[in-house]
Amino acid sequence: MPFHSSLRRCTPALCGAWLGALALLGSLSAAASAQDIPFTAWRDGFASDLRSEGVRPDIVSSMLDGLEPDPRVIERDQTQPEFVRPIWQYLEGAVSETRVANGQRAAARIADTLQAVEERFEVDRHILTGIWGLESAYGEIQGNFDIVRSLATLAWEGRRRGFAEAQLRAIAQMLDRGYATRAELVGSWAGGMGQTQFIPATYMERAVDFNGDGRRDIWRNEGDALGSAANLLARAGWEYRQPVFTEVRLPQGFSFADWSESQRRQVSQWAGLGIEPVSGSWSADDLNRSARLVIPAGAGAPAFLVYRNFEALLRYNNSTAYALGVAYLARAFEHGNAGMATGWPVDNPPISRSQSRELQEALSRLGHDPGGLDGVVGPNTRRAIRAFQSANGLAPDGYAGLALYNAVMAADGAR
C-alpha cells in the first residue's frame, strides 16, 4: 500500500533549518505531553512485551536498542492537508506521458518476469506494472526512512499505536525468519516497504519468494515484488483478463436519491435504469457482471460502473483515485489511450478542509446533521449534503464541491 507525503519547508535558507527544528521539537513535545510517557518508557515496555511473547532477545535488541523517535514522522502524521487534491489532478499525474513511457521501458526490461508472474497468479501484467509505477516509480523511489524507527515513533505518539505495534511485531517475524536484515528495513515514513510498498503485516501475509532463493526480497528483486503484488490481488479476488471498470453515461433525470456508492447491482439492472457505456454497447458478459456505480466528482462528471477487480485494487489501497489510476495506467500500456470521454468539472473542485468545517457548521444550522464538525467529509456529512441537495432542488450526489459549498453558504446566510 502506498504512503505518499511531503514535508513543508521554509523558503529562506538561513532561517529554514531553525524554524523547521523548532516546529519538529514542538510536535515532539505535544506528542509526549499528550501521552505523558517518555519514548524510552514506551520503547523499554514494548521490548519487554516482545521478549515475553517469545521474540529472540537479539532480534529485540537489533530493533530497539538505542532507538530514538523520528520527529519528521510525527510532523507528517499530525499534519492534515488543508487542500484536497482533485481526482483529475491525481489521474493526470498517475497517467502522465513520462510515467507511461517509463513503464513501457521497465516492462520491456523484465518482460519474461512479468509474463511468468502473470501466468502463475493470473493477474494481468499491465495492472502489475501500473501498481509498480504508482508505488515506487518502477523501483526507483522506495523511501529512505528507517521503518522500525518510524513505526516506533507512531506507536509512542499514540494515535495509531495498535497499527504501529502490530507492524513492529510483523518486523520481528521477518527478522526471525531471515526475510530481511535490520539494515534493509527502509521505506516510507508510515511503514511501506520495497518496490510495491507493503507494510510489514501485509508482507508477512502476502509477500512471496518468486525466484525461489529463500527470501522475499521486495526491495531488489522485481519478481518477488511483483509476484507479491499479484498474490495480494489474487487473494483479494482478482478475475483474470476481466475489466476493472466501464465509464458510463447517466440518463437525463437519473434518480440520485435512489443511489448510493455502496449499492451493488447486476449491470443488466443498471442498464435498465438507462445507464450506458460512453462507447459501444453492453455485451452479454457485461450484463451479467455485478457492479457499483461510482461518481467521484458529482453529477455531470465522469461516472463509472466498477467490478470485482476494482474492489481488489481497493484492497491494495482503499482509494477510488488510486484504483482508477492503476486501471487507466494499465490501459495506456496496453492500448495507448487513457483518456475519458466525459470532462472533469475543473470549475467545481473539492473544497478545502477549513471550508468543509464551515460547510458542516452551516448544514447543522440548516437542520441537516453532518455528524460532527471535524472538517472531514465522511458518510454522515455526505448524507447531510444529499439531504440539503434534495431539499433545494439539486441533484443529490453528495459531492462536496465548490458549487455545493456556495449554495449552502448562501442558504445559511439567507436564514
Least confident of 2-11, 51-60, 313-322, 373-382: 2-11
- Could you list the beta-strand ranges (E) of 147-273: 186-187, 245-249, 264-266
Between residues 1 and 61, the one the model is more confident about? 61
Which of 204, 226, 220, 59 lies closest to 135 in space, CA to CA? 226
CB under 8 Å to 366, separation ≥6 — which residues?
A: 388, 408, 411, 412, 415
**Distance in angstroms (rounded) separating the CA atoms of residues 230 and 206:** 9
Which of 139, 90, 59, 121 lies closest to 317 in space, CA to CA? 90
pLDDT tier, 13 (very low <50, low <70, confident <90, very high otherwise): very low
Q: Dihedral of CA 124/321/248/302: which sign?
A: negative
pTM of structure: 0.88
| Domain ranges, ordered by start, for the chain | 1-239, 245-335, 353-413
pLDDT tier, 35 (very low <50, low <70, confident <90, very high otherwise): low
DSSP state letter for 13: H
Q: What pLDDT shows up at residue 21?
A: 37
pLDDT, one tens digit per residue, over 145-174 is 999 999 999 999 988 899 999 999 999 999
Q: Which amino acid is at 76?
A: R
CATH of 353-413, one of 1.20.120, 1.10.287, 2.30.30, 1.10.101: 1.10.101
Q: Which fold has domain 245-335?
A: Lysozyme (1.10.530)
Question: How does DSSP assign 348-386, residue by residue?
Answer: SPBPPHHHHHHHHHHHHHTT---S--SS---HHHHHHHH
What's the chain's average pLDDT?
Answer: 90
